[in-house]
Amino acid sequence: MDNFIHILHKLESKYPLEVSNYCFESRLEANELYFDYKINKGITKNKNATHLMQKAGLIK
C-alpha cells in the first residue's frame, strides 16, 4: 500500500494539472475505525486501508 501511495504522489508531482491526490482521515479507537468524512488534499497521514484489509482477513 505504501508503494501505491508513493506512485500516486509521483504522478501528482509529474502531472500536476492532470492528477490530484485527495484523502479522508480516520482514527482507530478500541479496534474500531472512525472516519471524519472530510475530503482533504494530499495523501492520508494514517493507514486506514491497511486496518480495513486486516479486519477483512485480506492481510495479516
> Who contacts 15 (Cβ-Cβ below 8 Å, separation ≥6)?
none
Is pTM beyond 0.95? Reply is no
Residue scoring higher pLDDT (54 or 15): 15
Q: Which position has the grid cell 494514517?
A: 46
57 vs 44: CA distance, rounded Å:
22
pLDDT, residue 11, reads 92
pLDDT, tens digit, for every residue of 22-49? 988 888 888 888 888 999 998 777 777 7
How many domains does the chain divide into? 1
In a domain, 9, yes or no: yes
In a domain, 24, yes or no: yes
Residue-number span of the structural domain to which 30 is assigned? 2-55
pLDDT band at residue 18 under the 50/70/90 scheme: very high
22-48 burial string, b = 16+ CB within 10 Å, else e? ebeebeeeeeeeeeeeeeeeeeeeeeb
In a domain, 60, yes or no: no
pLDDT, residue 15, reads 95
In a domain, 44, yes or no: yes
In a domain, 17, yes or no: yes
